[in-house]
Amino acid sequence: MQNPKSISSPNPAANNEDKDFSLAGYDYELPKERIAQNPAIPRDSSRLLVVDSPVSHSHCIFRDLPNLLKPGDLLVLNNTRVIPARLYGCKPSGTAVEVLLLEELENNCWLALVKPGKRLTPGEKILFTPQENVEFSIQNQLSATVLASDNTIGGRILQFELPEGESLNQILAQFGHVPLPPYIKYSQSQPEQYQTVYAERPGAIAAPTAGLHFTTELLKRLQEQGIGQAYVTLHVGVGTFRPVEVEEITTHKMHSEWVEVSTETVAQIRETKARGGRIIAVGTTAVRALEGAAAGGELQQFCGRTDIFIYPGYEWRVVEGLITNFHLPRSSLLMLVSAAIGRQRLLSLYQEAIACEYRFYSFGDAMLILPEAKSTVFSKGFGAS
């Protein structure tokens, strides 16, 4: 897939007054107590910061969403499901090993992040431990051999040894653990609380967290008010949470992730736009799926990988509004949201959210950016083509 078309200054790094293309421009201080450790109960009781114009915003509760959208609007949600991708084990010597599966390459061969990485060289074997509630036996032993290193992400390629005809996905429930992000350190959450209520396609290693706020009852209320729902799949991987490490963000390269945008979803979007409805993406992963599928200039059915990187100056092709959580400093997700309403305004809203004691990150509160709030910094905003 082609990279997204974007607008940048001839030499943005040389302009000290323009921080939109500088990594330092996306920094902010977040008190540790603002990092949510547990999800809101019920899900839709989380707070919602509503950005409804270039100069105004308001504070609501997520369950207010049906009153904030219009009949005829279309929500596009990511139906990926988080797999139990974190495995614990040891080397034959007894050294403890932690593995985070990223994606299957072929025939039970997986790309993974491992700890301690430097001690796991090609040829090393890892013996995995089943979950505490799984009875250990010869039949459910699991091991893998390190085949090679992956220099692009500092990971390892692991070959799992399994009985013929079985796949690792089939037995992950016995050995794997849902991989909560590292900033969630003392959560009492249950695994299903880190899944959306509409998650159905296993493959992600992190949840599309903007969708965690929806309940089945809220989705039903939205439908009853004429607000449609369509689904895409983006299996959240290292591309979403990998840190931006280059000072000039235009040189950052995203790791690709697997996406599917169906013919049915494309038809729903086209019909919605034709009758004047608005396309509201639920989460940055839904944004990347839709805009990635439209990278050729027009939204098309797509099944494959995307490495789209959206930052200020991006020309929006599909998405007109966005529901999103509050993101980490210096992250590609913060840059994506800045492309919608402008970096300075976004950081100003973040400061207000901190002052108002909003909860941040995966289990935190949400923000609704309506089409009327599109950035005034650039001539191109949500919905431009």
Alpha helices in 196-262 (DSSP H): 216-224, 238-241
Mean pLDDT along residues 189-206: 96
Residues 274-295: b if buried by 16+ CB within 10 A, e if exposed: eeebbbbbbbbbbbbbbbbbbb
Mean of per-residue pLDDT scores for the chain: 90
pLDDT at res. 145: 96
Phi, psi dihedrals of residue 320, rounded to the nearest 5°: -120, -15
| Cβ contact 9:313 at 8 Å | no
Distances (CA, A) of 256 to 22, 55, 108, 308: 22, 35, 20, 8
Q: Lowest mean pLDDT of 167-181, 187-201, 205-219, name the range.
A: 167-181
| Cβ contact 53:373 at 8 Å | yes
Q: Which residue type does 331 have?
A: S
pLDDT at res. 154: 83
pLDDT at res. 120: 86
pLDDT at res. 138: 42
Q: Lowest mean pLDDT of 172-186, 221-235, 365-379, name the range.
A: 365-379
Checking if the pLDDT of 134 tops 70, the result is: no
Q: Lowest mean pLDDT of 215-219, 236-240, 310-314, name the range.
A: 236-240
The single-letter DSSP state of residue 69 is: S
- The candidate with the shortest Cα–Cα distance to 181, out of 158, 157, 212, is 212
Alpha helices in the chain (DSSP H): 65-68, 168-175, 216-224, 238-241, 263-274, 284-293, 332-341, 343-355
pLDDT at res. 8: 35
Phi, psi dihedrals of residue 333, rounded to the nearest 5°: -70, -40
Please name the fold of domain 86-175. Thrombin, subunit H (2.40.10)
Mean pLDDT along residues 218-237: 97
Q: Which residues contact 163 (CB under 8 A, 6 or more apart)?
A: none
Checking if the pLDDT of 16 tops 80, the result is: no
The first and second tokens of residue 214, run together, are 């929806």
pLDDT at res. 298: 94
Checking if the pLDDT of 379 tops 70, the result is: no
Pairing between β-strand 155-161 and β-strand 109-115 as defined by DSSP bridges: antiparallel
The first and second tokens of residue 70, run together, are 């219009």
Give the integer Cα–Cα distance in Å for 277 and 101: 39
pLDDT in tens, 154-188: 899 999 998 777 788 888 988 999 999 999 999 99
Checking if the pLDDT of 3 tops 50, the result is: no
pLDDT at res. 140: 60
Instruction: Tell the residue number behind the tokens 């990223």, with chain if given.
Output: 102
Checking if the pLDDT of 376 tops 60, the result is: no
| Cβ contact 4:310 at 8 Å | yes
Distance in Å from the first CA to the final CA of the chain: 18
Q: Is the dihedral of CA 249, 23, 378, 210 positive or negative?
A: positive
pLDDT at res. 7: 32
pLDDT in tens, 294-341: 998 999 999 999 999 999 999 999 999 999 999 999 999 999 999 999
| Residue scoring higher pLDDT (137 or 290) | 290
Checking if the pLDDT of 222 tops 50, the result is: yes
Phi, psi dihedrals of residue 238, rounded to the nearest 5°: -65, -25
Mean pLDDT along residues 338-349: 96
Checking if the pLDDT of 356 tops 50, the result is: yes
Q: Which residues contact 296 (CB under 8 A, 6 or more apart)?
A: 1, 2
From the options 3.30.360.10, 1.10.10.10, 3.40.1780.10, 3.40.50.700, give the CATH code of 12-82+188-373.
Answer: 3.40.1780.10
pLDDT at res. 4: 39
pLDDT at res. 169: 82
pLDDT at res. 375: 54
pLDDT at res. 117: 78
Place 381 in a pLDDT band, splitting at 50, 70 and 90. Answer: very low
Residues 8, 339, 381: CA angle, nearest 5 degrees: 90
Q: What percent of the chain has pLDDT over 90?
A: 77
Give the integer Cα–Cα distance in Å for 248 and 311: 12
Tell me the domain boundaries of the chain: 12-82+188-373, 86-175
Pairing between β-strand 47-51 and β-strand 366-369 as defined by DSSP bridges: parallel
